[in-house]
Amino acid sequence: MSAENTIVSGIAGRYATALFDLALDAKQIDVVAADMATIKTSLEESADLARLVLSPLVSRDDQARAMAAVLEKLGVSDLVRRFVGTVALNRRLFALSDMIDVFGKLLAAERGEVVAKVTSAKKLTVKQMEALTKELKSSTGSDVIIDAHVDDDIIGGLVVKVGSRMVDSSIRTKLQNLKFAMKGVG
């Protein structure tokens, strides 16, 4: 499966596809991928940055200047800086996180990899990640990239989503199922 066969749509899809094509042409795909991961992490860790990106009250020029300063501090490549600058000037920063996700899907498809979204109650250890990657690789028959998230609401266990398949072994879901089953008793 190549990136050309990956279906993307909407604003995020169009922008991510454009960046992906630019990165391929410039032979900077790995650099851009690393930069996008850095930006995604920064968006997740900084409430102020997330507010800047999502706020319709901040002017496009202020968003562009602020993002340029942030990206300068993060040390991202010129290609990514120009891309995010264009996104800001076009008032599309609200979709930046989605653009990064779609870029990741395009990259995975180009490399013949499958992305597995894994949600756990606590951060997985390196050993757990390696075991999960190995298990998913044998299950899917493809190299697997794990997109790990922590959600303490699931109490324990894992929720794994690969493509349209999902395995939910979280304690929260098991408790909900038990609660539902108990309503029918008595």
Domains of the chain: 3-107 (1.10.520.20), 113-183 (3.40.30)
Contact by Cβ (8 Å): 144, 174: no
Q: Which two tokens stand for residue 130?
A: 């390696």
Q: What is the pLDDT of residues 40-94, one digit of tens each?
A: 999 989 999 999 999 999 999 999 999 999 999 999 999 999 999 999 999 999 9
What is the rounded CA–CA span in Å between residue 166 and residue 117? 9
State the pLDDT at residue 24.
96
For 106-161, how does the pLDDT look when each residue is reduced to its tens digit (9 = 90+)? 998 898 888 889 999 999 999 999 999 999 999 888 899 888 888 989 999 899 99
How far, in Å, CA of 98 to CA of 76, rounded? 18
pTM surpassing 0.95?
no
More confident residue, 3 or 56: 56
